[in-house]
């Protein structure tokens, strides 16, 4: 049949199908189980004092073999069932990251007698113990196991991996007295101590949430720096020479502390410690805490700070989190214990605005040059303007669910999207900053929001929660605008547009050149890639392998996939120079670029239609004098 004949023939059948309800039919005689209801026997957290003090002894003397021994004594006040919980939802991780899979050798005793325990069938991080009459203390022993490492590799001890705690209490209501033993010759640093930690240490009794929020950096080689005003930096490396800090970098770190004070106007800690682990095994990440931060940097962080500009933004990011994320925290992200699930819907504030401040503080402190930060902004803007097609189906708001979804690198991150609540949200806050500056004729900015929202209650290192409406109200107190609609539109749209109005408002324009800006050049070298995203739509890694392919870009349309290896360009053996010459030449010849590539199935040719030449994003000033964006990046005066 032709199309219209088929359409008219099936219309009566469609009408019949809509008139008769359809039901799933179980064949007669088949077994049909009934639902077994799930009953949660574990007491919910309650805001009441835990009676007594938990003592926690951690022996990390065998940590280089991947073994940490734990002995814990938990007071009990009555016989009967008690549930002991292994931390699961750890603040700062935004997901159930507890390493219950590393716990081994669990033994629970009372009055010298071994007690049985049973793991909960729904929550594998919960253990039931029946306490006999007359028992006042449970003794808990277990090992925390990890991969063996070198005697010289620094370690970060996270208390959340090294304890069980009783269910039924807010963790702030449970007192813990911890002690630590390190390998011979090792020392440590932590916000728990105002000075260095020796091979053995006993800490003051603190609430459980304070303990978990205070990791310990340990290692054979540790160097401490005073950054002024009760802020210190402790760095542990595999070699002493990795810990040499240049005068320029030290000046930048001290300036970072000063600029943050001027920005936020208050402090929510009594002392603060940057804990920096230096190792060739580190990939450049960080974890925030109220009075400290975990910073994992590669072995060139101090010795060659200009090699990787992104690495220099980790400390500003984690430091800003003491205000944004720790003191002020989304109401549904704050939890009373480490079992209650977190909700991540405001991570575009928690992480996104912090990502904005990391760049601003890096520029204001001199840790990175203004040129480098402008290159970074250009790279981000270009990515979301034309190299993130996933924004046509997945909103920025939806990416805040990524911590719960992520299972490893996506085969096509440009289409699936991932942690854009960091990077795209940083552009959104750039938009907010420049809009405030425009509407107030330069008299106000996001600095004023930060001081009002994150700055109250100097010296308070508890938590103050907020919701979306609180953010809108605080913005309106700085500059009147329909901020609710503005934010919702950017957060929820799926039309492929990006928040880049800040470029024009900031006195700049995005331009394309045939060479990378200084930021992209440094980052690509540090990451070991060659980036042609904005031309033929791919990046190359070591050994000429295709590292990524832009969804629906020229290479994608030609059929190229990641993990193939380039062997030729237009019949000539592959080299970077040959490829770039071919991309330039195609702009005038208007001929396809033929890439020869091999995979496990052999060699294939891919004809790429691209005549736009080499393209790399830059920000170019569009006004004379000091532009509004320049003021955003300028140091705040005393």
C-alpha torsion sign, points 627, 629, 633, 636:
positive
d(CA 595, CA 546): 11
Q: What is the pLDDT of residues 547-591, one digit of tens each?
A: 999 999 999 999 999 989 999 999 999 999 999 999 999 999 999
Does residue 413 form part of some domain? Answer: yes
Q: Mark whether 468 and 579 lie in a shared domain.
A: no
pLDDT at 283: 81
Nearest Cα residue to 314 out of 345, 280, 346, 359: 359
Question: Last residue of a domain, which of 169, 203, 237?
Answer: 203
Q: What is the mean pLDDT of the chain?
A: 95
Look at residue 15 and tell me whether its pLDDT is greater than 80: no
Q: Are residues 91 and 194 in the same domain?
A: yes
In this prediction, residues 45-54 reach a mean pLDDT of: 99
Same domain, 436 and 539: no
Looking at residue 3, its pLDDT comes to 46
Pairing mode of beta strands 328-330, 464-466 = parallel
Q: Tokens for 460?
A: 């308070």
Q: Are residues 416 and 360 in the same domain?
A: yes
* 521 assigned to some structural domain: no
Give pLDDT, residue 8.
Answer: 40
Radius of gyration of the chain (CA): 28
3-class secondary structure, 114? strand
586 Cβ contact list (under 8 Å, min separation 6)? 592, 593, 610, 611, 613
Which residue segment(s) compose the domain that 408 sits in? 347-508+629-633
Asked if the structure places residue 190 within a domain, the reply is yes
State how far the Cα of 191 lies from the Cα of 618, in Å rounded to an integer. 41
The confidence band for 13, taking pLDDT boundaries of 50, 70 and 90, is very low
- Measured from the Cβ of residue 544, the count of other Cβ atoms closer than 10 Å reads 17
570 and 478 in a single domain? The answer is no
In a domain, 261, yes or no: no
Judgement on whether residues 483 and 607 belong to the same structural domain of the protein = no
Q: What is the CATH number of the domain that holds 547?
A: 2.30.42.10
363 CA to centre of own chain: 21
Question: What's the pLDDT tens digit per position in 162-198?
Answer: 999 999 999 999 999 999 999 999 999 999 999 999 9
**71 lies in a domain?**
yes
Looking at residue 4, its pLDDT comes to 38
Tens digits of residue pLDDT in 401-438: 999 999 888 889 999 999 999 999 999 999 999 999 99
Judgement on whether residues 378 and 442 belong to the same structural domain of the protein: yes
Specify whether 501 is located in the same domain as 552: no
pLDDT in tens, 101-140: 999 999 999 999 999 999 999 999 999 999 999 999 999 9
pLDDT tens profile 489-501: 999 999 999 999 9
Q: Determine the Cα–Cα distance for residues 599 and 559; give it in Å rounded to an integer.
A: 13
Q: What is the 3-state secondary structure (H, E, C) of 17-56?
A: HHHCCCCCCCCCCCCCCCCCCCCCCCCCCCCCCCCCEEEE
- Quick: pLDDT tens for 367-385: 999 999 999 999 999 999 9
The predicted structure's pLDDT at residue 22: 59
Residue 412, domain member (yes or no) = yes
Is the Cβ–Cβ distance between 358 and 110 less than 8 Å?
A: no
Pairing state of beta strands 137-145 and 206-207? Answer: unpaired
Q: Where are the alpha helices (DSSP H) in 479-593?
A: 483-492, 501-505, 518-527, 554-558, 576-589
Which class for 18: exposed (0-12), middle (13-18), buried (19 or more C-beta within 10 A)?
exposed
The neighbour count for residue 601, using CB atoms within 10 Å, is 7
- pLDDT over 50 (residue 5): no
Number of domains in the chain: 3
Task: Indicate whether this model's pTM tops 0.85.
Answer: yes
**450 contacts 259 by C-beta, under 8 angstroms:** no
Among 203, 222, 252, the domain-final residue is 203
Name the packing angle between helices 446-454 and 247-264 (round to 10°): 70
> 21: pLDDT confidence band, cut at 50, 70 and 90?
low
Distances (CA, A) of 300 to 55, 188, 245, 305, 311: 39, 21, 11, 7, 10
Burial call 155-167: b when 16+ CB within 10 Å, e when fewer: bbbbbbbbbbbbb
The answer to whether position 52 is within a domain reads: yes
Residue 46 domain flag: yes
Answer with the one of 186, 203, 220 that is the final residue of a domain. 203
Length of the chain measured in residues: 638
What's the sign of the alpha-carbon dihedral 128, 134, 136, 138?
Answer: negative
pLDDT at 312: 97
DSSP β-bridge partners for residue 618: 511
pLDDT bin (cut points 50, 70, 90) of residue 25 is confident
Residues 444 and 552 grouped into a single domain: no
β-strand partners of 100: none
Tokens linked to 612: 């736009």
Q: Are residues 186 and 68 in the same domain?
A: yes
Asked whether 130 and 115 are in contact (CB, 8 A), the reply is yes
- Do 156 and 112 have their domain in common? yes
Instruction: List b or e across 389-421, with b for residues whose CB sees 16 or more CB atoms inside 10 angstroms.
Output: bbbeebbbbbbbbbbeeeeeeeebbbbebbbbb
Burial of residue 104, with CB atoms counted within 10 A of its CB: 0-12 exposed, 13-18 middle, 19 or more buried: exposed
Cα(154)–Cα(409) distance, integer angstroms: 26
* Confidence tier at 276 by pLDDT (50, 70, 90): very high
Are residues 392 and 485 located together in one domain of the fold? yes
Give 268-282 as a DSSP string: S-S-EEEEEEE-TT-
């Amino acid at each position: 049949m032709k199309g219209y004949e088929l359409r008219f023939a099936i219309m009566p059948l469609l009408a019949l199908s809509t008139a008769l309800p359809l039901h799933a039919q179980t064949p007669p005689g088949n077994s049909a189980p009934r639902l077994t209801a799930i009953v949660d026997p574990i007491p919910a957290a309650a805001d009441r004092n835990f009676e007594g003090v938990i003592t926690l002894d951690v022996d990390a003397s065998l940590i280089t073999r991947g073994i940490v021994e734990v002995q814990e004594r938990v007071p009990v006040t009555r016989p009967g069932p008690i549930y002991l919980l292994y931390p699961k939802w750890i603040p700062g991780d935004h997901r159930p990251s507890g390493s219950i899979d590393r716990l081994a050798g669990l033994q629970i005793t009372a009055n010298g007698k071994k007690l049985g325990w049973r793991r909960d069938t729904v929550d594998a991080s919960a253990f039931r113990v029946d306490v006999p009459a007359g028992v006042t203390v449970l003794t808990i022993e277990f090992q925390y196991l990890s991969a063996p490492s070198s005697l010289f590799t620094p370690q970060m001890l996270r208390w959340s991996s090294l304890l069980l705690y009783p269910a039924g209490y807010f963790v702030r209501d449970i007192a813990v007295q911890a002690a630590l033993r390190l390998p011979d010759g090792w020392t440590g640093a932590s916000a728990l101590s105002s000075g260095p930690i020796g091979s053995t240490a006993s800490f003051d009794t603190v609430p459980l949430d304070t303990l978990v929020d205070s990791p310990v950096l340990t290692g054979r080689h540790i160097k401490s720096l005073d950054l002024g005003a009760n802020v210190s930096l402790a760095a542990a490396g595999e070699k002493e020479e990795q810990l040499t800090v240049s005068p320029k970098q030290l000046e930048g770190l001290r300036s970072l502390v000063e600029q943050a004070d001027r920005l936020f106007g208050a402090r929510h800690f009594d002392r603060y410690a940057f804990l920096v682990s230096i190792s060739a095994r580190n990939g450049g990440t960080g974890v925030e805490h109220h009075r400290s931060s975990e910073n994992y940097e590669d072995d060139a962080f101090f010795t060659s700070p200009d090699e990787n500009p992104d690495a220099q933004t980790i400390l500003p990011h984690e430091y800003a989190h003491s205000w944004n994320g720790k003191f002020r925290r989304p109401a549904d992200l704050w939890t009373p214990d480490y079992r209650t699930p977190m909700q991540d819907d405001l991570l575009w504030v928690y992480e996104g605005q912090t990502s904005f401040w990391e760049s601003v503080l890096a520029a204001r402190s001199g840790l990175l040059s203004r040129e480098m930060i402008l290159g970074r902004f250009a790279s981000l803007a270009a990515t979301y303007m034309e190299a993130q097609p996933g924004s046509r189906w997945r909103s920025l708001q939806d990416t805040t669910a990524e911590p719960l979804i992520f299972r490893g690198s996506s085969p096509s991150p440009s289409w699936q999207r991932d942690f854009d609540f960091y990077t795209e949200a940083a552009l959104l806050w750039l938009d907010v900053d420049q809009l405030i500056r425009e509407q107030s004729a330069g008299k106000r900015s996001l600095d004023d929001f930060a001081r009002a929202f994150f700055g109250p209650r100097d010296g308070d290192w508890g938590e103050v929660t907020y919701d979306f409406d609180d953010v809108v109200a605080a913005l309106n107190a700085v500059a009147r605008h329909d901020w609710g609609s503005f934010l919702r539109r950017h957060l929820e749209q799926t039309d492929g547009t990006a928040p880049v109005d800040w470029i024009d408002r900031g006195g700049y324009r995005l331009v394309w050149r045939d060479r990378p800006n200084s930021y992209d050049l440094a980052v690509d070298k540090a990451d070991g890639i060659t980036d042609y995203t904005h031309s033929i739509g791919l990046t190359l890694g070591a050994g000429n392998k295709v590292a990524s392919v832009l969804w629906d870009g020229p290479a994608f349309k030609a059929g190229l996939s990641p993990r193939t290896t380039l062997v030729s360009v237009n019949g000539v053996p592959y080299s970077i120079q040959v490829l770039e010459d071919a991309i330039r030449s195609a702009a005038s010849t208007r001929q396809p670029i033929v890439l020869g590539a091999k995979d496990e199935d052999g060699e294939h040719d891919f004809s790429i239609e691209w005549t736009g030449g080499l393209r790399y994003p830059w920000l170019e000033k569009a006004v004379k004098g000091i532009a509004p964006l320049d003021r955003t990046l300028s140091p705040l005066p005393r």
